[in-house]
A and B are shown apart, each in its own frame.
Chain A
Amino acid sequence: MHELGRYLFDSFLGTLTDVLPIVLVILCFQLLVIRRRIPNLRRTVLGFVYVIIGLSLFLVGLEEALFPLGEAMAKQLTDPAFIYAGIEAIGGAVRWQDYYWIYMFAAAIGFATTVAEPSLIAVAIKANEVSGGVIRPWGLRAAVALGVAFGIALGTYRIVTGTPLQYYIIAGYVLVLVQTIFAPRMIIALAYDSGGVTTSTVTVPLVTALGLGLASTIPGRSVLVDGFGLIAFASLFPMITVMGYAQLSEWQARRGHKSENP
């Protein structure tokens, strides 16, 4: 319990140093340039206090409970002893099919951590508000989470097979470009943004542990070269799924419209 208290204090200090530059910038401009009172000052300050305390608790909880367990699981799942249990290792060669539990874990943990990602929740709330309720927060978050799930599963496949990261990323970009031409204009900015917000507090540590664990247990992979890059997958694919989600709902709406007025 004593240790938990220390963790809480450290995390609180960490969040505070994270917020401090922002508060300073805001205060400077508010006092020197805008020179107006902040509307609802007390409520705003209270909001900042909530954010700092909330984020500290959130991080401590993650570090206490989820990260050690998730990292231990990533390590165990990537352990050759687990993967080759019951399978005879064929001449020491890596067969990508044997890693199916890892792909499943990658997809599942990618989906689950994205749903809990606080910055994505923030963007989803804003998008719902701005679109007048057309974009439902859960629809957006599910689309993003599916993208992350697929991206991370593909990223682990890449580490297992050892194919170069660049090819995947460039192919992904080409797909994003093509979709940009055809997707409804309203969704494009939001789709681009959702790539950046998926990878933060919850997703990054777990996914990094998975990537480093995989790269260190598979023969012939370098931790430093192959261990990274999963985050890039996790920020690329949500753009594709969010635009896809918008395209799909537009297509459905058009089809429904057509069948009503033949």
Chain B
Amino acid sequence: MKTSSGLLRAFMESTRDLLPIVIVVAFFQIAVLQQPFPELLDLLTGLFLVILGLTLFVQGLEMGLFPIGESMAYAFARKGSVSWLLAFAFLLGFGTTVAEPALIAVTKKAAQVAAEGGFIHHSEVAREGYADGLRYTVAFSVGLAIVIGVLRILRGWPLHYLIIGGYCGVVIMTLFAPPEIVGIAYDSGGVTTSTITVPLVTALGVGLASSIKGRNPMVDGFGLIAFASLMPMIFVMIYGAVI
């Protein structure tokens, strides 16, 4: 059975990936804090689930997420319709971000900060409105980021000029945004790119770059994630400065 031995190897690889965490936690618990492990059985069960889950995820990645991202990139390139491709790019970015649990958690915290800083009223409704507004702002900015990233691949613009321009935007907005929002804005760049979005978007970029003449998948295919983590920082600070 070829598949079962492949699965076993994947399981071993996942175990190896988790090993550093186990070592770090065990070292600090035993040597530094000098405490026994509470509920060792639960811990081991949890660890087994993590390893099993990671194994399945990596398998599914290569069977489902990567091929679909690439085949859609090829199909769009063959069809030659830029507007449909950009619409797809926007919806992919917007749709994957708007329901992201990590983002919902961050926007709630931001609303709390804003209420304590006196930017909005200290009421449930005002906080919820602020959080929802922020969430849609971030989702919109991620959609826009993927659109710009895809346009870059199509046109072959050099990535670093765009990223440097984006960083200048971050620095400029840092000066104007209320200081309370800056930490959250910087963090929001990291939380928008979820575990399912990343493989899909990466496969899309690499697929596009390899199906368009004159593009190198290594030089041009990556970079979409970078836009998706840069853009929200700027937009969250704009949102904080305007509201």
Contacts and interface: CB of A to CB of B under 8 A. Distances in A.
Given A25-B95, A39-B67, A82-B33, A51 B196 contact: yes
20 contacts: A4-B45, A22-B92, A22-B200, A43-B67, A51-B61, A51-B65, A53-B53, A55-B57, A58-B49, A60-B46, A61-B46, A61-B52, A73-B28, A105-B24, A122-B65, A126-B66, A127-B222, A185-B219, A186-B216, A228-B184
Interface string B20-54: 11011101110011010110001111111111111
Contacts of A90: none
A38 B100 CA distance: 26
Contact of B186 (A63, A192, A232): A232
B47 A61 contact: yes
A46 interface: yes
Given A61-B50, A116-B54, A196-B229, A26 B68 contact: yes
Contact of B21 (A29, A113, A165, A197): A113
Nearest to B59: A50
- The dominant DSSP class at the A interface is helix
A49 interface: yes
Interface string A182-208: 000110111011011111111010000
A40 interface: yes
A48 B45 contact: no
Interface stretch (A91-99, A169-177, A248-256): A169-177
A119 B198 contact: yes
Contacts of A108: 24, 27-28
A48 B54 contact: no
Given A70-B25, A130-B221, A231 B195 contact: no
Contacts of B164: 177, 180
Interface of B: 17-18, 20-21, 23-25, 27-29, 32-33, 35, 37-38, 42-68, 71-72, 75-76, 79, 81, 84, 88, 91-92, 95-96, 98-102, 109, 112-113, 116, 159-160, 163-164, 167, 170-171, 174, 179-180, 182-184, 186-187, 189-191, 193-200, 202-203, 206, 210, 216-226, 228-229
Interface in A135-150: none
Given A26-B68, A105-B28, A177-B167, 10 more contacts: A22-B95, A22-B200, A57-B53, A57-B56, A118-B54, A130-B217, A170-B171, A192-B226, A224-B180, A232-B189
B196 A19 contact: yes
Interface residues of A, number: 103
B69 to A, nearest CB: 9
A112 interface: yes
B33 to A, nearest CB: 6
B16 to A, nearest CB: 9
Given A180-B160, A234-B190, A25 B53 contact: no
Given A54-B59, A112-B21, A131-B218, A22 B187 contact: no
Contacts of A189: 159, 218-223, 226
Contacts of A29: 72, 84, 88
Nearest to A206: B21
Contacts of B61: 47, 51, 121-122, 125
Given A58-B49, A118-B54, A39 B195 contact: no
B174 A55 contact: no
A232 B32 CA distance: 28
Contact of B195 (A40, A170, A193, A200): A200
Interface in A196-255: 196-202, 204, 224-232, 234-235
A204 B102 contact: yes
Given A45-B64, A76-B33, A231-B187, A121 B53 contact: no
A36 interface: yes
B67 to A, nearest CB: 6
Contacts of A196: 189-190, 193, 198, 225-226, 228-229
Nearest to B174: A166
Contact of A54 (B57, B206, B217): B57
B65 A47 contact: yes
Contacts of B160: 180, 188
